[in-house]
Amino acid sequence: MWILLAAWVASLLVFAAFFMKTMIPLRVVAIGSNVAFISYALLGFRYGIFGRLYPILVLHACLLPLNVVRLSQIKRLVAGVQSATDEDVLRALLPYMRSEPHPKGTVLFRKGDQADRLYLVQSGAVLFVETDTHDGVGDVFGEVGLFAPHGVRTLTAVCERDCRLAVIDRDKVLELYYQDPEFGFFLIRLVASRLLGNGGRTAASAMH
């Protein structure tokens, strides 16, 4: 009776794992199925059929610590993404950027242009003509166009003073977005702050 119950529970947990859409619930259910299969195999001692079930015991005894480690890694990653500051992300981003000088009056891009770059102001100031708003040292701009429909600029950006800008190309931004959860979360916050009209996008003084 108990061995049959353990077998059904283990099978149902494996079946449930295929319905999990995110990794943390998937790993939790997988751990439950590992425990259930180990219990099922150990019950083989009681019913005299352990010789046929020990491969199941070996398999799930190996999978159980693996799933526990992966679950721990995912939780640490999520905690790291949530605790990472914008300054941390930008500090990690800088090695992928190149620095460019631009004299006062330079039009960096016009509304409707293809969005092909993300910018960080290292010195100077940038004016957004249509909204008469400004970005200064430590601010990141150009992110909205990268994710806008058809990938076009939504504003015109002009150097209000002589500027030095750190620049990264769109393809590299998208590569980092998919590979680095902290950077992806940073971009989401950045776009959201633009849409909400929040000017709080300044990086640390170490970025200057």
Domain extent for 71? 2-83
So what's the pLDDT on residue 74? 74
Q: If you average pLDDT over every residue of the chain, what do you get? A: 82
- Give the rounded percent of residues in the chain with a pLDDT score beyond 90: 33
Last residue in a domain, options 45, 68, 83 = 83
> Which tokens hold the place of 148?
């806008």
What pLDDT, on a 0 to 100 scale, did the predictor assign at position 201? 44
Question: In terms of domains, do 61 and 124 share one?
Answer: no
pTM for the whole thing? 0.56
**Which pLDDT value is given to residue 48?**
76
- Cα separation, 14 vs 57, whole angstroms: 15
State the total domains in the chain: 2
Q: Are residues 64 and 113 in the same domain?
A: no
Compute the distance between CA of residue 147 and CA of residue 139 in angstroms, rounded to an integer: 18
Residue 56 shares a structural domain with residue 79: yes
Residue type, 52: R
Ranges of the chain whose pLDDT falls below 50: 198-208
Q: What is the CATH number of the domain that holds 132?
A: 2.60.120.10
Residue 208 pLDDT: 34
Predicted local confidence at residue 202, as pLDDT: 42
Q: pLDDT value at position 125? A: 95
- Residue 83 has a pLDDT of 63
Question: pLDDT tens for residues 138-157?
Answer: 888 988 888 777 889 989 99
d(CA 169, CA 201): 20
Please write the tens of the pLDDT for every residue from 150-181.
889 989 999 999 999 999 998 888 887 777 77
Residue of 186, 197, 190 whose CA lies nearest to 83: 186
Q: Residue type at 108?
A: L
Instruction: For residues 16 and 175, give the distance between their C-alpha atoms in angstroms, rounded to a whole number.
Output: 33
Contact (Cβ atoms closer than 8 angstroms) between residue 8 and residue 35: no
